[in-house]
Amino acid sequence: MDAPAETVLDIQNLTFGYRADRLLYQNFSLRLKRGEIVTILGPSGSGKSTLFELIAGFLKPLEGIIEKVPFSQVFQDPYSSFHPSFTLIDQIRDVADTSGMESLCQRMGFDVGLLEKLPHELSGGQLQRASILRALLMRPRLLLADEPTSALDNLIQLDVMRMLVESLDEVGILLITHDEDLAKWCSDKIIRLGA
């Protein structure tokens, strides 16, 4: 009999708001296990990105507990993910072991030679694939992915999402998206925020 999957994120009774009279979350709970994709779906302003900031520790909850394993993040805006003055490969080597990098690049349809360039020398889609590459090379057990494929065209988006799904042996993924079709295609569970 297989051992139960590791819990990589456990949120219990989270309460948070930027103003006390207007809470984004009240008694919100979520559990994510390795091998799962849980998707947070909702319109702009519903608190999707705020949840990631709470999980990452950039914001402090008013109440509740957030327990997590080592994680990495993919942000919606790839240009804010990299320092403009250093090559991508230098920035990846600063935080990650690059073994297996060529194989991951190939699976994403990404030319490994582009990593020798500065961020502004790549398109938004290329830079987002570099951001996803860096996040996976950090070998996280939890991946926080905020609209990770919104900068990509449809075919590359599908390749990248397939690769993320294939990585589920090692990680649990918390995905933020407004794309309902994407959420239905890849998610084990969908949590809807806002109306």
Residue percentage of the chain with pLDDT more than 90 = 58
CA 175, chain centre distance (Å): 6
- 109 or 112, higher pLDDT: 112
Q: What is the pLDDT of residue 136?
A: 92
Give the separation between CA 71 and CA 50, rounded to whole angstroms.
17
The topology under which CATH files domain 7-192 is: Rossmann fold (3.40.50)
Lowest mean pLDDT among 48-62, 127-141, 156-170: 156-170
- pLDDT for the residue numbered 29: 96
Average pLDDT, the chain: 89
Question: Does the pLDDT at position 168 exceed 70?
Answer: yes
More confident residue, 175 or 170: 175
33 confidence band (pLDDT: 50, 70, 90): very high
Find the mean pLDDT for residues 49-67. 94
CA distance 141 to 30: 16
State how far the Cα of 185 lies from the Cα of 5, in Å rounded to an integer.
22
The pLDDT assigned to 195 comes to 54
Over residues 85-102, the pLDDT tens digits come to 999 999 999 999 999 899
Question: 144 to each of 9, 52, 157, how far by Cα in Å?
Answer: 10, 7, 17
pLDDT at 2: 59
Which secondary-structure segment (H or E) carries 142? strand 142-146
